[in-house]
Amino acid sequence: MDIDLQQLIAEIIENKSSHGVLVISQNYHIRYVNNSFRDRLNLSVGDNLLDYYGGIIKDINGRYTSLLIETMDTGKEYRNEVWGLKCLYDGQLHWFTVNTYINYNLVMGGRLAVASYVQIDRLKAYETKLQSQHVSIFQSFAKAIGMRDYYTMSHVIQVAQRMSELAVELDMSPEEVAMAYFVGLIHDVGKIGIPEKILNKSDSLTADEYETMKNHAKMGADIVREMQDFDEIADIILYHHERYDGTGYPAGLKGEEIPHYSRMLAICDAYDAMTSFRCYRQPVSTEQAIAEICKCAGSQFDPQMVTAFCNKIKYA
Ligand SMILES: [Fe+2]
Residue 188 sits in the same domain as residue 55: no
Residue 135 sits in the same domain as residue 170: yes
Q: Residues 40-65: what's their mean pLDDT? A: 86
> Does 4 map to a domain?
no
Residue 277 sits in the same domain as residue 129: yes
Residue 86 sits in the same domain as residue 149: no
Residue 302 C-alpha to ligand 1 middle, in angstroms? 17
Residue 88 C-alpha to ligand 1 middle, in angstroms? 33
Q: Please, is 273 exposed, middle or buried when counting C-beta atoms within 10 Å of its C-beta (0-12, 13-18, 19+)? A: middle
> Does 11 map to a domain?
no
Q: Residues 162-188: what's their mean pLDDT? A: 90
Number of domains in the chain: 2
Closest CA relative to residue 162, chosen from 193, 184, 140: 184
Residue 218 C-alpha to ligand 1 middle, in angstroms? 10
Residue 188 C-alpha to ligand 1 middle, in angstroms? 5
Q: State which of 156-160, 166-170, 177-181, 239-243 shows the largest mean pLDDT.
A: 239-243
Residue 207 C-alpha to ligand 1 middle, in angstroms? 17
List the alpha helices (DSSP H) in 99-238: 122-129, 132-148, 150-169, 174-186, 196-199, 207-225, 231-238
> Does 157 map to a domain?
yes
Residue 79 sits in the same domain as residue 185: no
Residue 11 C-alpha to ligand 1 middle, in angstroms? 53
Residue 257 C-alpha to ligand 1 middle, in angstroms? 18
Identify the band that residue 261 occupies on the pLDDT scale cut at 50, 70 and 90: very high
Task: Identify the pLDDT of residue 123.
Answer: 77
Contact of 77 with 101, CB cutoff 8 Å: yes
Domain boundary among 120, 146, 172: 120
* Residues of the domain holding 96: 17-120
Residue 132 C-alpha to ligand 1 middle, in angstroms? 25
Contact of 23 with 112, CB cutoff 8 Å: yes
> Does 10 map to a domain?
no
Task: Identify the pLDDT of residue 262.
Answer: 98
Residue 214 C-alpha to ligand 1 middle, in angstroms? 8
Residue 313 C-alpha to ligand 1 middle, in angstroms? 21
Residue 124 C-alpha to ligand 1 middle, in angstroms? 26
Residue 161 sits in the same domain as residue 76: no
Residue 213 C-alpha to ligand 1 middle, in angstroms? 9
Residue 128 C-alpha to ligand 1 middle, in angstroms? 27
Per-residue model confidence as pLDDT tens digits over 3-20: 788 888 788 877 777 789
Q: Please, is 119 exposed, middle or buried when counting C-beta atoms within 10 Å of its C-beta (0-12, 13-18, 19+)? A: middle
Residue 160 C-alpha to ligand 1 middle, in angstroms? 13
Per-residue model confidence as pLDDT tens digits over 182-209: 999 999 999 988 988 888 887 888 999 9
Higher pLDDT, 148 or 35: 35
> Does 229 map to a domain?
yes
Per-residue model confidence as pLDDT tens digits over 77-113: 999 998 888 766 666 778 899 999 999 877 767 899 9
> Does 167 map to a domain?
yes
> Does 105 map to a domain?
yes
Residue 103 C-alpha to ligand 1 middle, in angstroms? 52
Residue 115 sits in the same domain as residue 262: no
Length of the chain: 316
Task: Identify the pLDDT of residue 88.
Answer: 62
> Does 2 map to a domain?
no
For residue 259, the domain's CATH number is 1.10.3210.10
Determine which of 26-30, 158-162, 171-175, 299-303 has the lowest per-residue pLDDT on average. 171-175
Residue 67 sits in the same domain as residue 132: no
Residue 212 sits in the same domain as residue 261: yes
For residue 87, the domain's CATH number is 3.30.450.20
Domain boundary among 95, 120, 145: 120
Per-residue model confidence as pLDDT tens digits over 109-158: 789 999 999 988 877 787 777 776 778 888 888 888 888 787 888 889 89
Domain boundary among 120, 136, 153: 120
Residue 114 sits in the same domain as residue 176: no
Residue 26 C-alpha to ligand 1 middle, in angstroms? 50
Identify the band that residue 315 occupies on the pLDDT scale cut at 50, 70 and 90: low
Identify the band that residue 162 occupies on the pLDDT scale cut at 50, 70 and 90: very high
Residue 296 sits in the same domain as residue 189: yes
The helix/strand/coil state of 102 is: strand
Per-residue model confidence as pLDDT tens digits over 270-314: 999 999 876 666 788 989 999 999 999 999 999 999 999 998 876
Supply the pTM of this predicted model: 0.77
Residue 92 sits in the same domain as residue 184: no
Task: Identify the pLDDT of residue 205.
Answer: 87
Q: Residues 225-233: what's their mean pLDDT? A: 87
DSSP category for residue 64:
B
Task: Identify the pLDDT of residue 238.
Answer: 97
